[in-house]
A and B are shown apart, each in its own frame.
Chain A
Amino acid sequence: MMNVPENLRYTSDHEWILLEGDVAKVGITDHAQEELTDVVFVELPDEGRACDAEDPVAVVESVKAASDIYAPIAGEIVEGNAELEGDPSLANTDPYGAGWIFKIRVKDVADVEALLSPDDYKALLG
């Protein structure tokens, strides 16, 4: 059974979101990293970039394929996880921890609440 932490929100594109104040940390889910398998490169978003929900802002690449990572909510990118540049496999080994991808200052915190709950996401995975 996939690891779906209870304290996070999710998107149907398999991203997770952790809201801390008005900044949300975003990464890919355990399911996503398992589907991608070996992550070999992560292209981080530029800090200061304003984005709308569902804008492609980062790219996670496995040996075989490049996958866009979308902004789950509107806001402004405040940080990319520079650790991933040295060790992209953190996205595989610790997707909810050291493998986070970027932080976004959210326009409206209510947007985060509107994302999928852990139960909704589990249902999506089936």
Chain B
Amino acid sequence: MSEIIQETPLAALHVELGAKMIPFAGWNMPVQYTSIMDEHTAVREAVGIFDISHMGQFFLVGEGAEEWLNTILTNDIAKLEPGQGQYTFMLNENGGVIDDLIIYRQAPGRIFLVVNASMIDEDYAWLEKALPDGLTLTNESDSWAGMAVQGPNSPGAFAALFPGVDLPPRNGLHTWEQDGETLVVCRTGYTGEDGYEFFSSAGNGSAWFQRFVDAGAKPCGLGARDTLRLEVCYPLNGSDLSPERTPRSAGLGFAVSLTKECGFIGKDVVMQEKEDGFKERLIALEYTGKGAPPRAHYEVFTKEGERLTELTSGVLSPSLKQGIAMAYLPVDYAKIGTLVDIDVRGRRFEAKVVKKPFYKKG
């Protein structure tokens, strides 16, 4: 079956702005405009904007939407007031990650879900097959344009575009009507910086993106999004998360509620893992010296030369100027300070298990 490459509503604008486009998760996306370093720095020090229109937008509506979704996803929706969001997981029956997603409780009985681009169809099918009568699930991914505006100057860009509209607090969401269009802003992001994700109609997406650029946001591609998220140890589904591994073994237990009464799909396996102890943990590795950039799938060896695993993510950190990576290591090797070797084309570079995240603001 040949893969159909999709384009976001912003594709023409990316090309006009000088983006280098690459296929990603079935989408033709900008990897960079000027350089990953420039764009990474813009987000750490000023403000950058990313097209996230390839991600999926679902709406779950109906009385009891919260209670039902709480039995499917790992985090506890009961903690969400209207206008708040949370990071959560959809697990399979084996406790493995189908997707990591962010859900927002827009209003009682109305949930907005933002899911990974490559998982839109699978997530929708997973939810729909269990959907009870009385609830409506819609996939509105094609109707919306999305952009992540990230960096210390991102509130300023918002104020310039929307005078009089309040930016919600961290993890908050605000929906409003403007010139006949529904606009949504969520104070979330995936870079470790202050920022928000902004959603408009697909048709007006390019115009909004351009307005943010005019307000000082530097257009940024997937390359910088990857270096930024890895510096703060946010996982990438399909690389750092997989259907074979639990979110708790990835160190993401904060988004898995083992105490909520309704439980969730995969909870039995997660509880068993808690009882038995972890076999492996997703840990952070940093080179001890100079070396070739670590990348996903490079092999990791003990200092004695025994193969342990492969990297799930890796990059030369633009902020730290150092090779950084994540990998699932057997627990005996997962302790802070443990030394291992990363193999790069036959050469071994020493790395140390370090505390997450690699990069902390300030």
Contact residues of A with B, CB < 8 Å? 37-38, 40-41, 43, 59, 61-64, 66, 85
The residues of A that contact B295 with a CB separation of less than 8 Å are 66
What's the Cα separation between A117 and B292 when bound, in Å? 33
What's the Cα separation between A66 and B297 when bound, in Å? 14
Residue B263 lies at the interface, judged by CB distance under 8 Å to chain A: no
The residues of B that contact A59 with a CB separation of less than 8 Å are 292, 345
Q: Do residues A62 and B292 form an inter-chain contact, with CB atoms below 8 A?
A: no
Option from A37, A40, A43, A85 in Cβ contact (under 8 Å) with B316: A40
What's the Cα separation between A59 and B295 when bound, in Å? 14
Chain B 339-362 interface 0/1 with A at a Cβ cutoff of 8 Å (1 = within): 000000101000000000000000
Q: Do residues B292 and A61 form an inter-chain contact, with CB atoms below 8 A?
A: yes
Residue B315 lies at the interface, judged by CB distance under 8 Å to chain A: yes
The residues of A that contact B290 with a CB separation of less than 8 Å are 85
What's the Cα separation between A26 and B215 when bound, in Å? 44
Q: Do residues B35 and A40 form an inter-chain contact, with CB atoms below 8 A?
A: no
Q: Do residues A63 and B318 form an inter-chain contact, with CB atoms below 8 A?
A: yes
Contact residues of B with A, CB < 8 Å? 31-32, 34-37, 40, 223, 226-227, 290-293, 295, 315-316, 318, 345, 347
Q: Given the interface contacts A59-B345, A63-B223, A63-B316, does A38 sit within 8 Å of B293 by beta carbon?
A: no
The residues of A that contact B316 with a CB separation of less than 8 Å are 40-41, 61, 63
Q: Do residues B36 and A37 form an inter-chain contact, with CB atoms below 8 A?
A: yes
Tell me, rounded to whole Å, the shortest Cβ–Cβ distance linking A11 to chain B.
22
Q: Do residues A37 and B32 form an inter-chain contact, with CB atoms below 8 A?
A: yes
Q: Do residues B293 and A66 form an inter-chain contact, with CB atoms below 8 A?
A: yes
Tell me, rounded to whole Å, the shortest Cβ–Cβ distance linking B89 to chain A.
28
Q: Given the interface contacts A41-B292, A41-B316, does A62 sit within 8 Å of B345 by beta carbon?
A: no
Option from B36, B40, B226 in Cβ contact (under 8 Å) with A62: B36
Q: Do residues A63 and B292 form an inter-chain contact, with CB atoms below 8 A?
A: no
The residues of B that contact A40 with a CB separation of less than 8 Å are 293, 316
